[in-house]
Amino acid sequence: MFARRKASTTFLRYSDRRIFWKLEWQFPQCDFTSCDDRVDEDMLLGACLDKYLLPESVDISGSKLIYYQSLGHKGVSVLLKKESSQANESRYVLLNQNKSLKRNFKGKKIIEYPTLLVVPNIHVSCYLESSIKDEIKDTD
């Protein structure tokens, strides 16, 4: 029951009121999950993802992420898993890789640490409901 609480390393540095997040990354197409500890909230989401998408950066996951690496940043979307969502609404929120974690998480309910799903753009529709997909088209 409290496993998520025990695993959390997210903390607030009081001196400058800055949050350092624990990020859980899930790559469902290759069945790979990894965590990053103490990621500064001012980092861009895309920069956090570099560790997994740039071939020269990957040392821990090796060949598991080749498919994602071939897609690159433009070929994938990052989704935030919603906490306690209603049955009739989407369980994920689309995040912007060009914004900081702070701006992406603003106004979102996050318990302990965020779970981020990295999915190929062609599979995003499986995770988002139609009303959200219409909003995405309007912003492009």
Which tens digits make up the pLDDT trace of 1-24? 455 555 666 778 889 989 999 999
pTM beyond cutoff 0.85: no
Which tens digits make up the pLDDT trace of 53-82? 987 766 655 678 899 999 999 999 999 988
Q: Is residue 73 part of a domain?
A: yes
Backbone angles phi and psi of 22, in degrees to 5: -95, 125
Domain count, the chain: 1
d(CA 131, CA 126): 13
Q: Among 37-46, 47-56, 88-97, whose mean pLDDT is lowest?
A: 88-97
Host domain of residue 109? 11-127
Q: Is residue 47 part of a domain?
A: yes
